[in-house]
Amino acid sequence: MIRRYSELRALSTFEERFDYLRLAGIVGNSTFGYDRYLNQILYHDAEWKRARNIVIARDNGCDLGVPGFEIFDKVIVHHMNPITMEMINARDPKVFDPEYLITVSHRTHNAIHYGTDMRSIKGPTVRTKNDTCPWK
């Protein structure tokens, strides 16, 4: 299954988008093994940085691009479809195409890859009057 942003954006809730992207991988399985240096080179590439900035702006810095799920710590631009060493070496356009990328938080990124249950991902906190005031 090839995951696409154009399909993802038709899903309105965070849960639906998460289920669409979940890979249910296993912690410790190597993606690149000894060739991991290649994806580190990729993430310092000017073309990648341009694509990353476009995706973050498109998604308004929100987790899975869902309004109300703003990311206030490290922003990750996630490849919706796993990339390979060959794709990086060939500079496959799919590696840089926003149609195959989405903005996620670190927690959501790990949950997508390692099968974490959605209940561990908390949505926005609903604030109430005086909820941070211990003497009221």
Q: pTM of whole model > 0.75? A: yes
Can you tell me the distance from the alpha carbon of 12 to that of 15, in angstroms, rounded to the nearest whole number?
A: 9
Percentage of the chain beyond pLDDT 90 is: 54
pLDDT of residue 45 exceeding 80: yes
Indicate if the alpha-carbon torsion angle 9, 14, 19, 25 is positive or negative: positive
Categorize the per-residue pLDDT at 119 as very low, low, confident or very high, splitting at 50, 70 and 90. Answer: low
Mean pLDDT for the stretch of residues 84-96: 90
Can you tell me the distance from the alpha carbon of 91 to that of 127, in angstroms, rounded to the nearest whole number?
A: 46
- Judge contact between 96 and 2, C-beta under 8 A: no
Categorize the per-residue pLDDT at 50 as very low, low, confident or very high, splitting at 50, 70 and 90. Answer: very high
Top pLDDT among 50 and 31 is at 50
- Judge contact between 64 and 102, C-beta under 8 A: yes
Q: Which has the closest alpha carbon to 66: 17, 115, 133, 106? A: 17
